[in-house]
Amino acid sequence: MDTSIQECFPEELLHASVDTRKAYFFGKTIGHPRLESARRETLALIGNDAGPDIIIVSGPTGVGKTTLARKIEESLLEAYRGRMEHDRSLLPVLRVDAVATDTDDKKFDWKDFYTRLLQAFDEPCIAQKQLFEDSIYIERPLFPEKGAGLISRTPRWCKLCLRERRARAEGPYFPLAWSLELDAACSKHCIKLSDCCPWCGRRQPIIPFAPYLDRCAYCNGWLASENREDRPVAAKPWELWLAGAI
């Protein structure tokens, strides 16, 4: 038999049944030069620490995008096989399909996407899980497009941070993150940010009237004072997550 034919498929396949031959060729993938080139280029980008975080492969239906993703997954698993045998917790690659939504509003279903991720991780009890004790799923963009609602209408502060600065004989300081509407907690002390004077209960103006930032603009009381009605409140997990991310 011709050597080139033997390299294409096993010789015993010639004597196999029609169904067996169909099954063999149905599962056979013949490498295309451009597909192999795209695989090598993508793997080089993935292996480069200074490479991009997101790699987009585009093309018409049936051109081989899914096949390319599968080949890259196989290559990465093979490359990390030795490390995976020593470290059973190592998962070098995870391939998940981002399914397009079929709803009228055309919004991407993030819940479905993250559920698919957990399923790929073989995470148990997915239906009984939620992200935090409170839902933070938002039907609007996290950051407004034109800045409206990005900055808090009134100043906020962490009492414990102000106390620490006074104990170190340092002047009051309000980090820029405290002025963001999304930042509602101090990630250092795990408490909610305060927004009212503990003495008169009034919110502070954006432009302070008092000579010091840690003094109330109306009664001149120290904003880091503590009384029974206004004690630091523990922040919720999702508030701490946002504060740490900011």
Residue keyed to tokens 């740490």: 244
pLDDT reading at 108 higher than 90:
no
Residue 11: how many CA atoms within 13 Å on its side-chain side?
5
110-145 per-position pLDDT tens digit: 778 888 888 887 777 666 555 544 444 444 455 555
Q: What is the pLDDT of residues 236-246, one digit of tens each?
A: 887 787 787 76
Please answer whether residues 172 and 214 qualify as being in contact, where contact means their C-beta atoms are separated by less than 8 angstroms.
Answer: yes
> Which is nearest to 160 in space by CA: 192, 184, 183, 182?
192
Q: Report how far residue 128's alpha carbon sits from residue 130's, in angstroms, rounded to the nearest whole number.
A: 7
Tell me which H or E stretch contains 191: strand 191-192
Query: What pLDDT does residue 147 have?
Result: 52
The model carries a pTM of: 0.42
Kindly provide the b/e burial profile for residues 50-88, where b requires at least 16 CB atoms within 10 angstroms of the residue's own CB. Answer: eeeeeeeeeeeeeebeebbbebbeebbeeeeeeeeeeee
Q: Are 191 and 234 in contact (CB under 8 A)?
A: yes
Nearest Cα neighbor of 232 from 154, 146, 152, 160 is 160
Write the pLDDT tens digit of every residue in 34-76: 888 888 888 888 887 766 778 888 888 888 888 888 889 999 9
Residue 155 predicted with pLDDT over 50 = yes
